[in-house]
Structure 1
């Protein structure tokens, strides 16, 4: 069969761009298909706009604390038009990295249209039929909207239209207490909105409960209200929304649905050609191969973790497999994620709960607080802690809550994967004063019982006695 391309990539988000760019840089003839905006969710309505919003909210929060460190500031004046401009300026600044022009320069042939997979090696796009021995599906995810009574008859926000708001909500009611819900709750509260979060289960349920408790306390102190329960009914119109939770009715101006994401894998003809689907998206093996030979699925569209850095990682893996023939299985033993509240919540590897479920009483936990970290004390930002989850001296996971907690994950990624050790980290020279000293302190604490055990103490005593006798 004569092919039009070496590989066809469907989706111009983090996963698809990484795979397409990698294959093109190795000299392959790549077709990259994207019908919506280049850059996908992360650039346009996910990571970038949300972090820009959080930055604006943090500036307002700092000014709201009018006197600190002996310095007095004026209370902030929040202008939503300026915040909106900042958000979209951030998107525009990063957009060239993901642009059609950049990937054409790399050697991709970019198609801005809808794709229909018509066979294991063929894709219809617009008026053309493209063929290739390898097809990569990277169609991402979309907001998951729960079946709440009345949801189809009221205006509501998701991350896909939240950042296009032309007014600051008077009272934002958020259904969902996960990462998106908690970040947006703090951001809008700091900018002046009243905020109520409705969540039937535990807040940020995949994170360590002790870390989440710290963040909840901070958000409640800032005025965010939490209601535990299931949103059963919504009603209202623009500017006047009512959410029923049990016996309580919550009245707000805007409703944000933040109950997670679901795979965007329908309408591409995949099931018709035999690609198997699971509950969470396209089924794949550890090499991200689907049930149809020659077709891969990477990023949010497949069943698995949905994070931008995971999408990039899988895109790189598939690019290496297609270009060099290297089988590249995914390894999520050191998977990190961060919730960018203030303080941040950072997790890598297993939580304490997960580790105890798998390894029982073989698990030990070492905990260091930022109250003992001298950089944190000097800045009066000492709220939070680091928990190191261990099996023996091996790191299984780390949970951190505190200022810039996400920046402290790297050494634990090395430890979990065996590229470093707690002993190496505990004996490292760390610049003073830095927050990263907490990592060294936790690692040293793991070794402290061994270093100062009976045998080393006896040896130290023996040497001291010998010196006294012969000096």
Structure 2
């Protein structure tokens, strides 16, 4: 039996942030992780392997296109082992920085094993019983699969095992057109698979601006079959193939492929924790917390995918920073989700922060301005032959930025200045007055921001007075 000032359950991004922060402040900390290695799903079966796959697939696609131009052939599927090795190597490099040794050097006691509460202050991990003054639940999430007739009779993939596949399928059906589904779909298509994506909703990426959805769908449909409004009725195996029977607008349709990937969402990984013994409330499958991440037990906190906020690694990290102060010093820090950006790493990339145009008009009515610039108007994108995309900055009439959206090459990098402006409370005019290196992709932001001054200038009484003056002095 060991006593700790803080016990962190979960060794992913959120848990590691809390454990490292608390240890650096001098607290006696225990970090509990169920799996063999720290890093969580993001490192092992999520963000990192998927981004390595995206990069490899883009390069492979370029090689295949070049081969066609040269009158030869290059099959990305035949070289999938090289792609897989790249994914594995990326994980290994990052794992070295986020391993157990890093935390033991900080003075953190790391326990590998499944954790379960025995009481509000007692946690069992294997044969060890830990006593904690404060707890942080950061156990992440796992794939959730809807009840589909026949699904339990076939073999299917999720993000937890798709990166361990030794070969690339000739064809694959992906059920779910969210971020995970679309990123993997485009990657597989570029590597040479025939990809079919089926989405139950009448749209995909429903949190994105409508203009973003429209453009991205056009781009994705060039490489794959993308169907929305699909009611999947049954899944079966026929002659070694996966068969999906569905309805679209009342019409019966059938799809067949070598593999099936379920990308239908995620749910908190909290079943084994025995939260009932700790008297911690759960609501709609998530740990119920206040805005400062306190559960129904004031000494127990929860963050990351276990709570119903934004399901992103960087969001979990920010929550972790807040919880270090809240748990150790009794503060009431919280994260401002209205200014939390996210990226969908398709090609072109999709960037999002704040309100969409529809949300802004619903909330503010006529007190909304839209400033939009096409990437085809930005010299660097023309030089890169990457003109597909746009920037949209949404403001109130006084210039206050309330939303920013972009579709384009590396949009997640050059749109970050909009997040900074929102966090500072700067108006769009300040983005226009900044100096941007030429030629850079960030000039897309300047193009959109310049429209604010152009609109104000052309509608100004001084502009009309200047026109009359120059007419009089000709």
Fold-level match, TM-score > 0.5? yes
CA positional deviation for 1:266: 1.2
- Residue 421 of structure 1 pairs with residue 420 of structure 2: no
Other structure's SS at 1:417 match: helix
Other structure's SS at 2:291 match: coil
**Aligned ranges for residues 52-71 of structure 1 at < 5 Å?**
52-66=52-66
Tell me the TM-score normalized by structure 2: 0.93
Which of 424, 441, 458 aligns to 1:452? It is 458
Distance in 2 of aligned mates of 1:460 and 1:410: 37
Other structure's SS at 1:348 match: strand
Contact in 2 for aligned 1:346/1:406 (Cα 8 Å): yes
Note closer, same or farther for the CA distance 1:289–1:73 as it changes in structure 2 (3 Å cut). farther
**Aligned ranges for residues 193-204 of structure 1 at < 5 Å?**
193-201=193-201, 202-204=203-205
Q: Which residue of 2 aligns with 1:188?
A: 188
Runs of 5+ consecutive residues of structure 2 not aligned to the other structure: none
Q: Which residue of 1 aligns with 2:30?
A: 31
Note closer, same or farther for the CA distance 1:74–1:419 as it changes in structure 2 (3 Å cut). farther
Distance in 2 of aligned mates of 1:238 and 1:350: 48
Which of 432, 438, 441 aligns to 2:444? It is 438
Distance in 1 of aligned mates of 2:197 and 2:45: 21
Q: Which residue of 2 aligns with 1:89?
A: 89
**Aligned ranges for residues 277-296 of structure 1 at < 5 Å?**
277-296=282-301
**Aligned ranges for residues 124-143 of structure 1 at < 5 Å?**
124-143=124-143
Contact in 1 for aligned 2:2/2:129 (Cα 8 Å): no
Q: Please give the root-mean-square deviation of Cα atoms over the aligned residues, in Å.
A: 2.3
Contact in 2 for aligned 1:136/1:297 (Cα 8 Å): yes
Other structure's SS at 1:382 match: coil
Distance in 1 of aligned mates of 2:72 and 2:443: 34
Which of 348, 357, 361 aligns to 2:353? It is 348
**Aligned ranges for residues 64-79 of structure 1 at < 5 Å?**
64-66=64-66, 75-78=73-76, 79=79
Tell me the TM-score normalized by structure 1: 0.94
Other structure's SS at 2:277 match: helix
Distance in 2 of aligned mates of 1:158 and 1:197: 14
Distance in 1 of aligned mates of 2:379 and 2:72: 29
CA positional deviation for 1:320: 2.2
Q: Which residue of 2 aligns with 1:219?
A: 220
CA positional deviation for 1:403: 0.7
Contact in 2 for aligned 1:394/1:415 (Cα 8 Å): no
Runs of 5+ consecutive residues of structure 1 not aligned to the other structure: none
CA positional deviation for 1:213: 2.0
- Residue 396 of structure 1 pairs with residue 402 of structure 2: yes
Contact in 2 for aligned 1:174/1:195 (Cα 8 Å): yes
CA positional deviation for 1:423: 1.4
Q: Which residue of 1 aligns with 2:232?
A: 231
Distance in 1 of aligned mates of 2:314 and 2:469: 52
CA positional deviation for 1:362: 1.6
Distance in 1 of aligned mates of 2:22 and 2:3: 15
CA positional deviation for 1:264: 1.0
Q: Which residue of 1 aligns with 2:177?
A: 177
Other structure's SS at 2:294 match: coil
Distance in 1 of aligned mates of 2:441 and 2:67: 24
**How many residues are aligned here?**
465
Q: Deviation per CA, 1:358-383, whole angstroms, max 9, x where unpaired?
A: 22222221111001011011111100
- Residue 109 of structure 1 pairs with residue 109 of structure 2: yes
Distance in 2 of aligned mates of 1:375 and 1:252: 40
Distance in 2 of aligned mates of 1:150 and 1:410: 45
Distance in 2 of aligned mates of 1:227 and 1:329: 37
CA positional deviation for 1:351: 1.1
CA positional deviation for 1:88: 0.8
